[in-house]
Chains A and B, each alone.
Chain A
Amino acid sequence: MNLMMAVLVAVLYTGGIYMILRRSMVKVILGLIFLGHAANLLIFTIGNLTKGKPAFVPEGMLSLDEPFADPLPQALILTAIVIGFGVQAFAIILFKRAYKTVGSDDIDQLNHTDELDR
């Protein structure tokens, strides 16, 4: 299971980096979303993937039995997902506005702010 997750995270990272290097605005957004998901799954895997072992201390015991799934990374991901959702929604709207204003979804057309004033 860990190996599968590792491969999935790697695929998401490579896919995300490939996509943000593309020229199309839509692909750049997809790339950003992939990278966000990759980071979330990475943290999820770090918290130990353990099936059917909730992080409750059994009665009469002082600590958890190994192995257990760490609940904290899951809380972190929950926060990160919510933040990511908001930010990505904003980015999609921003890119759409830029597409309408510039009239092209080619990132290479967005070079006016870098032009030198001769």
Chain B
Amino acid sequence: MKSLTNILLVAPILLPFLSAIIMLSAWKKIKFQRVMNLFASGVAVMASLAIMQKVRADGILVLHVGGWQAPFGISIVIDLLSAIMVVITAVIAFVTAIYSIHTIDPEREAFGFYPLLQFLLMGINGAFITGDLFNLYVWFEVMLISSFVLIALGGRKDQLEGAIKYVTLNLLASAIFLAAAGIIYGLAGTLNMADLARKLPLLNNDTMLNLVSVMFLISFGIKSALFPFFFWLPASYHTPPAAVSAIFAGLLTKVGVYALIRVFTLIFTHDVNFTHTVLLVLAGLTMLSGVLGAATQMDFRRILSFHIISQIGYMIMGLALNSPLALAGGIFYIMHHVIVKTNLFFVSGMVNKFEGSYRLKSLGGVFKASPVLSLLFFIPAMSLAGIPPLSGFWAKFTVAKAGFDLEQYFIVGVSLLVGALTLYSMTKIWNEVFWKDKPDSIQNNNTKESWSSVKLYLPLAILSLITIIIGFNAEPFLNLAINAAHQLLNPQEYIKIVLGS
């Protein structure tokens, strides 16, 4: 029984790894790879739900890999936040698996799109469940190298340009992360996160800790597209195929946000006045610059890319306010955002598939051509803007309520303004793509048959349904987020369970 639980704990890493290896051994059999990808993603959803069930029943789960006790070995630690992230990753991977079958071109499939997708998931899941700082670096690299190949796969000019910007800045972030991990090892003599949380307060060296915490902030800030470091994101996310940019938009930046939440609730809590004030200022600027950047754009996916940035601001605002309700709001925001944003990128891919463009200027009349797709855009778009009763409303409401409780009126004001401007951008897309007539100069090249193909709408419908469920039945999800936040803000239990003393 014990060994079965252990296998379940590493399943989020092991499943994608094994399925990727199997797919690599069947390199030429594309149909097999499709089925395998779908099957592995489906099993991963079930495994992640089982993990979630177990974490809710038994509390934080720990596995000391290879039998080496913490802090000497690498520990896999799954608390509620990790479990939530693993479940969301599995769900997104599953719908992306369905979506990519019909949208990814045969060339990309032939060059290993599906195994790469699974390697990417292995890296993402590994980052979510590891309890060791250096191991986190390794998982980041696994995730990055797969995403590098995925973003450049196809080799079109704009893809390569986007990839260069993406690769350069992410490598810079990794170098900073590596140096910071080294310095923190020099200070505390350990890299186990729980052990660090125990040992760092004994150092009484706040100056040095502040320095290292800023290095972590910069490196994770680049990865999660925080305010001064976000330029790589809108320059690259609109270049790969829609299935790839959808999974990037949903999951990759959230790994950075997860790392920030983990590090600034567990390890760097020595000088909250300094670290969390910096975070709060960055959160406000991230929200504003993202939404203002989106206002000037006239490309479907670039507008959505800029909105990723502004939404990251809300999550970091939840972290920076540093109260249980605020952090719960941030976590709830992640859940809502991943689902909605992936859905919106799927819609943009569908529009491109049938109308042949992402440019708002050359699109139009989609509402007439496909009312169903319009509805499937309308739900996540309104949710993103925070219109009740959809999931985005509860996410924004929780963060804003926490801000009012702490009397941080300015940042709440900023967040509400950003919500209104989000609505402006979504309305712009709605007007240009769905509502207005198709420009006369553009040839209509879609066929009647393609619009009515049901299987294409399936992944979008699943995600829209989840958005509606979270919206109309927010309480269990909110309670889950609140419990996760309580776990994060009381790290004693985490430390005790990992170190076992």
Seen from chain A, the residues whose Cβ lies within 8 Å of a Cβ on chain B are 16, 20, 25, 28, 32, 35-36, 38-40, 42-43, 46-47, 72-73, 76, 79-80, 83, 86-87, 90-91, 94-95, 97-98, 101-102, 107, 110, 112-114, 116-118
Contacts and interface: CB of A to CB of B under 8 A. Distances in A.
B451 interface: no
A83 B161 CA distance: 23
Contacts of B329: none
Interface stretch (B56-64, B86-94, B233-241): B233-241
Interface residue tally on B, bucketed by range = 35 or more
Contact of B298 (A91, A114, A116): A116
A28 B168 contact: yes
Interface string B357-369: 0011100000000
Given A42-B182, A46-B183, A46-B185, A87 B160 contact: no
A73 B181 CA distance: 10
B152 to A, nearest CB: 6
28 contacts: A25-B164, A28-B168, A32-B172, A39-B178, A42-B179, A42-B183, A43-B181, A43-B182, A43-B185, A46-B186, A73-B185, A86-B145, A87-B144, A87-B145, A90-B148, A90-B149, A90-B167, A91-B167, A97-B152, A102-B160, A102-B161, A110-B165, A112-B161, A113-B162, A113-B165, A116-B296, A117-B297, A117-B361
A102 B141 CA distance: 27
A45 B165 CA distance: 31
A33 to B, nearest CB: 10
B163 interface: yes
B361 A39 contact: no
B216 interface: no
A57 B361 CA distance: 72
Contact of B235 (A40, A47, A114): A114
B428 to A, nearest CB: 13
Interface in B167-220: 167-168, 171-172, 174-176, 178-179, 181-183, 185-186
- The secondary structure that dominates the A interface is helix
Interface of B: 134, 137-138, 141, 144-145, 148-149, 152, 155, 157-158, 160-165, 167-168, 171-172, 174-176, 178-179, 181-183, 185-186, 234-236, 238-239, 296-299, 359-361
B220 to A, nearest CB: 16
A23 B274 CA distance: 36
Contact of A94 (B144, B167, B186, B239): B167
Nearest to A43: B182
